[in-house]
Structure 1
Amino acid sequence: MRIIETALLAPAFLAASMAVASPAPPAFVGETPADAPLAGAIHDARTGEALAPADVAARIVDAEIVLLGERHDNPDHHALQAWAVGIAAARAPAGGLVLEMVRRDAGGPLADARAEDVDALGEALGWEASGWPDFAMYAPILAAALDAGWTLHAGDAARALTTALARGEEDALAPAERARLGLDRPLPEAGRVRMERAIVDGHCGLLSEAAVPGFALAQRLRDAVLADSLLAAPSPAVLIAGAGHVGAEAVPFYLAARAPERAVLSIAFVEAAPDVDEPADLVARFGTADAPYDIAWFTPEVARGDVCADLRARFGGG
């Protein structure tokens, strides 16, 4: 996987890229940026360098695969994703938008979608019943792709398969398919630990220790299938997914294993609390080559209250 390194690009190429006018990113619609010192800041997560939106646009244009990691219920993240898709699509007459939110066995309505179909796609996909946040936040992203003539693609693995793996039924995935997807390659130990910690934290500490390996395998399958969907889509391809899927041990791991020649750019939109003013407090290993993604774009956070309350109630923990 060829990582985009703007600093290594020839000055003439950079000038040509930057000469192409790109629209300014949208204003935040959530809390005012002044409430959080980092909101609006953009950094190369691996060097720590501060970036401008035009720098991000130039890197997007140079990439073959762009990963856009969101917090699912944050409207600012979706607005920035739509901006990024518009940047990519404006420079490429054909491309593919891959959606984590649509499973491969339920993606039929995407196949022949046209720009005028966007408003009806939510209902056709059964979006409201799927549990994802309001389709209205995602519609502009789809419209940005379709308006440019791009195609839409379901990205996620079938629910029955991920459920079986989460239950520990490893034989639910055929060995040949496991190898094709790159799942026969073990994650680096540090990546495995990060993934398992994220799974435990994401379930509010309520998963039993014995359940974690199955959930980790299901998560690995989802990452591998998202990578597979990107490789099958027209190039350039853009992924819309949760930020956990754009980390180094997630989708990029499988892209690097299967298509190391492809130029991949990973961008995570990161919520910044009002009391945080250091990127390193929000991005693991910030400013080092081991940072989880290429670019961190900080936004205001969404007020959620106790997100674990419902889960504790379901598990009988309070």
Structure 2
Amino acid sequence: MRVSPFKTAAPFCAALLGCAGAAHADLVTLDDLPTAPPAQILILGEIHDNPNHHETQAALVQRWHPTALVFEMLTPAQAAAIGDTPRDNAARMAEMTGWATSGWPDYALYHPIFAASGTAEVYGAALDRVDVRRAMTDGAGAVFGPDAALYGLASPLPAPEQALRETDQMTAHCNALPPEMLPGMVAAQRLRDAAFARTALQALEKTGGPVVVITGSGHADRARGIPAALGIAAPAITAFSLGQVEGDPGPDAPFDAWIVTAPTPRDDPCAAFTKTP
């Protein structure tokens, strides 16, 4: 496992599995996860179109009773529009959030999370697309604002780490990106991770926690994602990262725990990069 810069709630094996002879204690099932929230901020990763991942997130929200839910998928305005809408009314929730035009997978996949949220305050962490695009040219720190240094955005990444992240971006985009785009893609990712962490801390300060963050598993990366930004900005805050993946992530999986599920049926995601005009 990569070394995490943030404070964990307790030694992972002891806290979750009791160290009962578990040689691979970080690979878990839903039943292995504790009944009480293991940290102040709980980052629940997903593959966005996998319904099993959302069912697990909903089950954990119901189990851990967070005071706040932070969604990667919602802007602050969309979250505010929920108001007093009954969370179990799927059609009304989809309408109030404008989900159909958001570009995310169908609202039905996410409805179990909202339905399980009770009275938790809902926060939207999504940035305006214009700002994300601007980070690609101007840098993450310039877009983030005056607290950029607090979240580690005022300085460039070390060259080896920058190179690794650019390679990951190229792989994630089917090796189809022009190389000159890669630094900007890394900057945009750094901006979004820091913004999600900032929203989670704001939610924790206002509601007292625990706070659940619903996000892609890439953002749950302990070394690079939301947890890393939290570790820089608020090292005293405890955080827990759950990755949900569709295959063995290997011995260096960058999560506190991960769940492996069967792949959901989907079209080849690389097909869009190979289509001819």
Would the TM-score normalized by the shorter structure come out above 0.5? yes
8 Å Cα contact 1:192-1:249 kept in structure 2 = no
Contact 1:105 / 1:158 at 8 angstroms: preserved in 2? no
For residues 255-275 of structure 1, give each alpha carbon's deviation from its aligned partner in whole angstroms, at most 9, with x where no partner exists.
Answer: 001111111110111113xxx
Given that residues 242 and 257 in structure 2 are in contact (C-alpha distance below 8 angstroms), is that contact kept between their aligned partners in structure 1?
yes
Question: Relative to structure 1, is the Cα distance of residues 188 and 96 closer, same or farther in structure 2, using a 3 angstrom cutoff?
Answer: farther
Are residues 1:173 and 2:169 paired? no
**In the TM superposition, what are the counterparts of 1:62-101 in structure 2 within 5 Å?**
62-89=38-65, 95-101=67-73
Matched, 1:141 2:117: no
Deviation at 1:189, TM superposition (A): 5.7
The one-letter code sitting in structure 1 at the alignment partner of 2:176 is L
Q: Is the 8 A contact 1:187 1:249 kept in 2?
A: no
Check whether the contact 1:69–1:267 (CA below 8 A) recurs between aligned residues: yes
Identity level (%): 31
Match of 2:3 in 1: none
Deviation at 1:82, TM superposition (A): 0.4
Q: 8 Å contact 1:110–1:153 — kept in the other structure?
A: no
CA RMSD of aligned residues (A): 2.7
Name the SS for the 1:70 alignment partner: coil
CA distance in 1, matches of 2:157, 2:228: 8
Does residue 182 of structure 1 match 2:152?
yes
Distance in 2, Cα, partners of 1:157 & 1:98: 13
Q: Which region of structure 1 is more displaced relative to structure 2, 175-184 or 152-161?
A: 175-184
Normalized against structure 1, the TM-score is what?
0.73
- Equivalent residue for 1:210? 180
Q: Where do 5+ consecutive residues of structure 2 fail to align?
A: 1-5
Stretches of 4+ aligned residues off by more than 6 angstroms: none
What residue in structure 2 maps to residue 308 of structure 1? 270
Q: Which runs of 5+ in 1 are unaligned?
A: 15-43, 273-281
Instruction: Give secondary structure in 2 for the equivalent of 1:213.
Output: helix
Pick one of 109, 115, 133 that aligns with 1:163.
133
Alpha-carbon offset, residue 198 of structure 1: 2.6
Letter of the aligned partner of 1:75 in structure 2?
A: P
Aligned to 1:227: 197
| Maintained 8 Å contact 1:119/1:139 | no
1:185 CA displacement:
4.7
Q: How many residues align?
A: 261
> Matched residue of 2:34: which SS?
helix
Q: Deviations over 1:184-234 (max 9, x none)?
A: 255466654443223212222121111111111011100000001110113
Q: Once the two structures are superposed, what CA deviation does each residue of 1:23-82 show, in whole Å capped at 9, x if it has no partner?
A: xxxxxxxxxxxxxxxxxxxxx9xx722545343124x52211111111110010111110
Q: Is residue 5 of structure 2 the alignment partner of residue 3 of structure 1? A: no
> Partner letter of residue 271 of structure 2?
A
Q: Structure 1 129/265 Cα, relative in aligned 2: closer, same or farther at 3 Å?
A: same
Q: Highest CA radius of gyration, 1 or 2?
A: 1
Tell me if the contact between 1:71 and 1:269 (Cα under 8 Å) persists in the aligned partners. yes
Q: For 1:75-132, what per-residue CA distance to the aligned partner results, in whole angstroms no more than 9, with x for missing partners?
A: 101111101111111xx6xx11010011235433145544355531212222111211
AA aligned opposite 1:183: L
**Structure-2-length-normalised TM-score:** 0.83
Write 1 or 2 for the structure with the bigger share of strand: 1
